[in-house]
């Protein structure tokens, strides 16, 4: 639709498709997705995810907390694959809760993206601080209350009519209770170890998620020694044509959006509207995020325009944080957001219905940002 509306000819479409296929960003995203699916397949097949949920249940009886903690923790992995990896965790943790599949999808998606406000590993935050020449800490401080507000805004949607799990039975003696607690901690550490190692390699050593996943997957293969039959069954799951086609389609859309001049036309339209500065600071990143579904791309495209309009001096930490919230709320409401599409695909629910569930918490968060940061 983007290519047709912009009048792009067949040669232009073919060139855009080729650029998409050979793009390092496409290769990185697709490679990361396949490796994440391989890791999830290994962890599921050899009981690590079941063990993780069971140990969390002994430490924190209320499963609703698990459903928030697990995707939020995976949100530290700055890749759409993290959303896919937390899907089976949320699904398992929600057993007996009475939550609808749409609520599970919303919960996995929404609480994962809370981390975008506070985790300095996200490319969008790095681009924001580089372009505005602001220290990372100065931007994170005004974003911290926004993370809390977004968390509170999502709770009613996630857990309306959800049942609280019954607390675990009390131990008969103090030493038995202590032993159970230690055992649960040990199980939690062992089951979470593959994910923690990936996060350490990404956060502490600066490796890309795709590179960080490789040694972890190889280690699990050495430990569990899958048979040829196991490899074949996991390969069928990992090499999912639907997911591969979907990723390539979204990346083609983003490439076509830039090649067709859609972002430039949007920026020109907003400039002609003559909006007040604070409204422009929110509206432009929100709209670009809505179109692209990627926060890093949005920051790279929208911020230079805002800086050229208002000057670098106008980009205070609060203004930069406001632009970032606008970007993220726009990105969370678009069907081009890869995390959302993957989550919806896993839970087999209607994409538009889940976006409708996201709308109110997103608008609450955006309104709070305008009140607090403007």
> pLDDT digit string (tens) for 201-222?
877 887 777 888 899 999 999 9
Say what the alpha-carbon torsion angle 315, 321, 322, 324 is, to the nearest 10 degrees. Answer: 110
Q: Are 72 and 111 in contact (CB under 8 A)?
A: yes
Of 35, 146, 139, 120, the C-alpha closest to 81 is 35
Say what the alpha-carbon torsion angle 21, 25, 30, 36 is, to the nearest 10 degrees. Answer: 170
As a whole number of angstroms, the distance between CA 297 and CA 253 comes to: 13
Q: What is the mean pLDDT of residues 273-285?
A: 86
pTM of the model: 0.77
Overall number of domains in the chain? 1
* Residue 179 predicted with pLDDT over 60: no
As a whole number of angstroms, the distance between CA 238 and CA 31 comes to: 11
3-class DSSP state of 125: helix
DSSP state of 314: G
Q: What is the mean pLDDT of residues 304-324?
A: 90
The reported pLDDT for the residue numbered 57 is 76
DSSP state of 97: S
Q: Are 31 and 208 in contact (CB under 8 A)?
A: no
Q: Which domain holds residue 361?
A: 2-163+171-373
* Residue 168 predicted with pLDDT over 50: no
As a whole number of angstroms, the distance between CA 335 and CA 352 comes to: 8
CB-CB neighbours of 47 under 10 Å: 12
């Amino acid at each position: 639709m983007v290519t047709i509306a912009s009048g792009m000819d067949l040669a232009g479409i073919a060139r855009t498709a080729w650029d998409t296929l050979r793009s390092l960003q496409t290769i990185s995203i697709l490679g990361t997705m396949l490796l994440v699916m391989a890791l999830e397949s290994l962890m599921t097949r050899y009981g690590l995810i079941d063990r993780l949920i069971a140990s969390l249940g002994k430490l924190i009886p209320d499963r609703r907390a698990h459903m928030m903690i697990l995707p939020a923790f995976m949100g530290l992995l700055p890749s759409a694959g993290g959303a896919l990896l937390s899907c089976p965790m949320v699904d398992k943790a929600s057993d007996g809760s009475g939550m609808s599949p749409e609520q599970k999808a919303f919960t996995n998606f929404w609480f994962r993206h809370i981390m975008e406000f506070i985790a300095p590993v996200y490319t969008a935050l790095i681009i924001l601080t580089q372009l505005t020449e602001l220290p990372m800490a100065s931007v994170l401080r005004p974003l911290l209350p926004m993370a809390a507000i977004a968390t509170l805004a999502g709770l009613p949607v996630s857990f309306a009519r959800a049942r609280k799990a019954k607390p675990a039975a009390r131990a008969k003696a103090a030493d038995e209770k202590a032993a159970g607690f230690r055992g649960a901690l040990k199980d939690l550490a062992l089951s979470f170890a593959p994910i923690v190692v990936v996060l350490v390699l990404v956060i502490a050593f600066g490796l890309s998620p795709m590179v960080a996943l490789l040694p972890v997957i190889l280690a699990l293969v050495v430990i569990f020694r899958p048979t040829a039959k196991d490899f074949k069954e996991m390969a069928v799951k990992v090499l999912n044509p639907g997911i591969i086609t979907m990723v390539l389609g979204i990346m083609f859309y983003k490439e076509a959006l830039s090649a067709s001049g859609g972002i430039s036309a949007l920026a020109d339209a907003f400039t002609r509207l003559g909006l007040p500065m604070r409204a422009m600071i929110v509206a432009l990143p929100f709209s670009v995020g809505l179109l692209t579904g990627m926060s890093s791309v949005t920051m790279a495209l929208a911020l230079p325009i805002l800086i050229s309009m208002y000057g670098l001096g106008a980009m205070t930490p609060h203004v930069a944080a406001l632009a970032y919230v606008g970007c993220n709320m726009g990105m969370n409401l678009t069907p081009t957001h890869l995390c959302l599409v993957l989550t919806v695909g896993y839970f087999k629910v209607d994409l538009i219905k889940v976006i409708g569930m996201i709308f109110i918490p997103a608008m609450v968060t955006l309104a709070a940002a305008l009140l607090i940061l403007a």
